[in-house]
Amino acid sequence: MNALLEIREVSKSFPGVKALDKVSFSVKAGTTHALMGENGAGKSTLMKCLFGVYRKDSGSFLLEGEKIDFKTSREALSRGVAMVHQELNQAGKLTVAENVYLGRFPKYNKYLPFINMKEAIRLTEKLFESLSVKVDPRAKIETLSVSQRQMVEIAKAVSYGAKIIVFDEPTSSLNTDEANTLFSIIEKLKKDGCGIIYISHKMEEILRISDEVTVMRDGKYIATNDAKELTTEKIIKLMVGRELSGRYPERNGEIGAPLFTAENLSDEYTHLFDVSFTLHRGEILGIAGLDGSGRTELLENLFGLSTRKSGRLYLEGQEIFNRSAEEAIKNGFAFVTEERRASGIFGILSIRENTVISSLKDHLFGPFLSNKKMSEATVSYIKRLGIKTPSEKTKIRSLSGGNQQKVIFARWMLTDPTVLLLDEPTRGIDVGAKYEIYTLINELAKAGRGIILVSSEMPELIGLCDRIMVMSGGRQSGTVSRGAGEEEIMTLATRYL
């Protein structure tokens, strides 16, 4: 089969970083080609060079044998190359239909400049229907959830009728149903002869949907393999360059006295009903459940981000209230959230500033902030988590997506929290760095702190937690201890649906 897209010795540097070093491989028509590699390996940069967001320094792209060199993404779209970006970049005030047809609105006729909004809405409706996307074309983007916004982006990319579609970590914010919708869209596109380039850190997903897998490391091409010949272990070895002994560090701490108790918690908007549990010192308590089961709402409520209708909180026997995030932080709580784009990142600030911002009082020298202390703290986490950056002074927005998430994690670790709330903390983070994060969580537990972990990755919960509380329809449907299987948890998760 001839290559639909050929990538030949493409190189690209940023100040202080060689992001791409003579990368070559090709993508066949009618296949899904996965692109994998650790955070900062250069995956997004390569695709942005193809799509006209960045200019490559050297090398070439060939589409059906013809050289292409797009200067803008608009040019790429008009020539049959579309891309769904890792970071959502939509205008929130616009409606869904306006977003989908931005820059190419249907007109009443070719002589009049007026755009036909009704027609745009009708076309969007038709498009969504054909793709089984369930979003109202008239809704304002800012009213949608992150996953709905992601589905709109996917539908939009498909609507250009492109020959090559790049998906950069499309499922990082999708629930299982939405991800399955995406996979069937991809199947359809493949049948039409499209070439799909698919970037993800989720091994199970990659092995399920891709035909070929290319691995990059440190800006270099490593290998391309038939997906059928690969296993998770083989991919990890190609990505990391060595074998990992396991995906989860051993749990070996002691579980101590009760640390934190929540009693009969309900929230005002009925996402949570009567939730009670106790977290012990040294314990990692997992929260499992399907999308919409109230997992995130529970953490938000504990952290003072939503109003409590009823219920009480006790920290070491003392009643606490956590009525606001500020109060929760004062009580020794920290919250690593799943939406690094919506909350948490201060793009124009440096990595150092982003890292120390929640623990400033620990970096004082007399009454002044000590640059030395802040740098030491930041550099130690850069090393520990393998944050790929030329310097601690680099602006955080120039980091790759996964490396930004590592900075957020470091920020909250530095507050040395008594109770650490984690909501999908390893989303978009590569396997090697995940292991480091798990180790840090373990160490924190060992030091007598308590951890509550929400994750939709079942293996992560099972591999890491001492107990798992399962939620279903806003209620707790059961708690299982270490050693419980996926099936048992899934049964509990569907109990109150």
Ligand X SMILES: Nc1ncnc2c1ncn2[C@@H]1O[C@H](COP(=O)(O)OP(=O)(O)OP(=O)(O)O)[C@@H](O)[C@H]1O
Q: According to CB under 5 A, which one of 26, 31, 32, 44 is a site residue for Mg ion?
A: 44
Smallest separation, CB 32 to ligand X (Å): 18
Q: Which does 173 bind (CB under 5 to 8 A by kind): ligand X, Mg ion, none?
A: none
Q: According to CB under 6 A, which one of 42, 253, 417, 425 is a site residue for ligand X?
A: 42
Smallest separation, CB 447 to Mg ion (Å): 33
Contacts of 405 (CB under 8 A, 6+ apart): 340, 425, 426, 427, 428, 429
Interaction of residue 45 with ligand X, rule CB under 6 A = yes
Describe the crossing of helices 401-413 and 371-384 by its angle, rounded to 10 degrees: 120
Q: Which of 43-51, 77-85, 318-326, 463-471 is the region at the interface with ligand X (rule: CB under 6 A)?
A: 43-51
- The C-alpha atoms of residue 460 and residue 437 are separated, in whole angstroms, by 12
**Which is closer to ligand X, CB of 86 or CB of 124?**
86
What's the sign of the alpha-carbon dihedral 403, 405, 409, 410?
Answer: positive
Interaction of residue 53 with ligand X, rule CB under 6 A = no
Q: Which does 45 bind (CB under 5 to 8 A by kind): ligand X, Mg ion, none?
A: ligand X
Q: Write the DSSP symbol of residue 397.
A: G
**Which is closer to Mg ion, CB of 266 or CB of 405?**
405
- The C-alpha atoms of residue 74 and residue 80 are separated, in whole angstroms, by 10
Q: According to CB under 6 A, which one of 214, 359, 400, 418 is a site residue for ligand X?
A: 400
Site for ligand X in 403-442 (CB under 6 A): 403
Q: Which of 43-51, 247-255, 322-330, 414-422 is the region at the interface with Mg ion (rule: CB under 5 A)?
A: 43-51
Smallest separation, CB 429 to ligand X (Å): 8
3-class SS of residue 307: coil
Q: What is the 3-state secondary structure (H, E, C) of 112-177?
A: CCCECHHHHHHHHHHHHHHHCCCCCCCCEHHHCCHHHHHHHHHHHHHHCCCCEEEEECHHHHCCHH
Q: Which does 17 bind (CB under 5 to 8 A by kind): ligand X, Mg ion, none?
A: ligand X
Interaction of residue 22 with ligand X, rule CB under 6 A = no
Contacts of 447 (CB under 8 A, 6+ apart): none
Q: According to CB under 6 A, which one of 4, 10, 33, 40 is a site residue for ligand X?
A: 40
Q: Which does 11 bind (CB under 5 to 8 A by kind): Mg ion, ligand X, none?
A: none
Closest residue to bound ligand X by CB? 402
Q: Which of 84-92, 131-139, 326-334, 486-494 is the region at the interface with Mg ion (rule: CB under 5 A)?
A: 84-92
Q: Which of 40-48, 176-184, 309-317, 464-472 is the region at the interface with ligand X (rule: CB under 6 A)?
A: 40-48
Tell me the two tokens of residue 307: 């109003």
Query: Which residues are paired to 419 by β-bridges?
Result: 333, 450
Q: Are 454 and 302 in contact (CB under 8 A)?
A: no
Interaction of residue 401 with ligand X, rule CB under 6 A = yes
What's the distance, CA 30 to chain centroid? Answer: 27
